[in-house]
A and B are shown apart, each in its own frame.
Chain A
């Protein structure tokens, strides 16, 4: 496929791929002028999202989320703990975010975790917990832009999938997790504190959308190529009761004016509806089993 470069400095024709590599910004700007992106998406549309619950069978709750080619795996492990004195009704959540070198050619072993994990900590405020530790592990399998969105989606899905295991008090008065495999002989004196596995009640579920801003165009859900060229990223997180959980814009050459802020919020609301539908579908798929 030949592309005629009409900008003047390179007379004659040039291959599309070469143009894309040598002048990435101009390549994108020519697409933006037509309000379309190289992979055929309109500016406001996000990539195909899929969700698979229960990907890790040994974890209490898990989910695999794919946004385009970005793949993120979340697994939740619960542990029994003694709650702290100030908040005897609450447990706590510890989040670990791993970016193994498999995910992207720019990641080397030993590179520290991204800032996304710090932001995801605050989102756990919107999820209710009750007297136990959840240790959540998020592992990035493939990095292709919008890492935070995929991380949040898989974390939320894993939480929805989570079933709190049965616990009981043993003779010493400590709470111990009830193992599934038998152990019924001689231990029936223990009263199970909660009789059956129950699901974690979720408060308002947060959903997020990352956009890049480039000279008045807002691109929703950028791939890693788009992210590397357009330096301004905005991540908006909203929850199901239409409140803003986070508006995260760490610097970047493009400034956000009020109109841009409202546009990003509007795009996030749309995305939220799509994601809620996908989450429900994944769930009803699970229930059938």
Chain B
């Protein structure tokens, strides 16, 4: 069913994406990612020597600092930091540089909906720019469920507030391998179908959530292509 979105997009259409790397010269890696009006800047410093207290010295430690656009750091920022830290920990190869700390600083430049997915995408690009070893990249998307049950992708802030519920979902990006397909099936599903992180707000039925996941997966395949192309372009 076609829902009229204010900016004229179809339910499955994402906003204008743009990604630029190596914008901050003092940081080891940096990237800016914008989806429509939402823009996030991420900088990576590291690996630096030593781990934080209570962290395992056998592995590399990741630290995330979230800077909101205005206001002081409160509980919402701390929660975002924790989610991002756990997501980044699961995609980085932590055993390569034990007893080191890598800091990821996220600065919100503008918030117009889908902020956390934008930040995760920016952080991933920044980690690539810094050369931190990773298993695969993470692509994040926001899906929301409207009152009548239709699923919209990549909502603006206005849409997020009006919707019944929304979900931020992070998937691993699809692997381009030299070997023919068929080598990475888990439980009958390819590796890129698994969810790394999922955070939901508001109520929705289980079927609606699974539909969000399905749509999000398809959109993430497109997103990971964009990410891959922009990273390759910067190399040349």
Contacts and interface: CB of A to CB of B under 8 A. Distances in A.
B86 A251 contact: yes
A243 B86 contact: no
Interface string A224-263: 0000000010000011001111111111110111110110
Contacts of B191: 255
B230 interface: no
B72 interface: no
A113 B75 CA distance: 8
A113 B209 CA distance: 29
B210 interface: yes
Nearest to A123: B203
Contacts of A251: 83, 85-90, 170, 196-197
A8 interface: no
A247 B167 contact: yes
Interface string B198-229: 11111111101110010000000000000000
Nearest to B120: A251
Contacts, number: 104
Contacts of B170: 251
Interface string B170-207: 10100000000000001101010111111111111110
Give the size range of A's interface with the partner.
35 or more
A76 to B, nearest CB: 20
B193 to A, nearest CB: 6
A247 B196 CA distance: 12
Interface in B149-182: 167, 170, 172
B194 A244 contact: no
B82 A248 contact: no
A128 to B, nearest CB: 14
A106 B204 contact: no
A125 to B, nearest CB: 7
B79 interface: yes
Interface in B63-94: 75-76, 78-79, 82-83, 85-90
Given A115-B82, A239-B203, A250 B87 contact: yes
A117 B82 CA distance: 13
B199 A244 contact: no
A122 B189 contact: no
A118 interface: yes
A272 interface: no
A243 B205 contact: yes
B202 A122 contact: yes
A239 B75 CA distance: 25
A157 interface: no
A130 interface: no
Given A106-B54, A247-B209, A251-B87, A256 B203 contact: no
A122 to B, nearest CB: 6
A189 to B, nearest CB: 45
A85 B145 CA distance: 28
Interface string A192-219: 0000000000001000000000001000
A118 B194 contact: no
A186 interface: no
A152 interface: no
B195 A255 contact: yes
Interface string A115-150: 101110010011000000000000000000000000
B195 A261 contact: yes
A249 B85 CA distance: 12
Contacts of B76: 118
Given A113-B75, A115-B79, A249-B198, A255 B206 contact: no
A99 B15 CA distance: 42
A147 B170 CA distance: 24
B74 to A, nearest CB: 9
Interface in B99-125: none
B201 to A, nearest CB: 6
B200 A246 contact: yes
Contacts of A244: 200, 203-206, 208-209
A221 B183 CA distance: 34
A262 to B, nearest CB: 8
A112 B195 CA distance: 29
Nearest to B82: A115
Interface of A: 106, 112-113, 115, 117-119, 122, 125-126, 204, 216, 232, 238-239, 242-253, 255-259, 261-262, 265
Interface of B: 54, 75-76, 78-79, 82-83, 85-90, 167, 170, 172, 186-187, 189, 191, 193-206, 208-210, 213
10 contacts: A106-B54, A118-B76, A119-B79, A248-B200, A250-B197, A251-B88, A252-B197, A255-B196, A257-B186, A259-B189
Given A118-B76, A238-B206, 5 more contacts: A247-B200, A250-B83, A251-B90, A257-B194, A258-B189
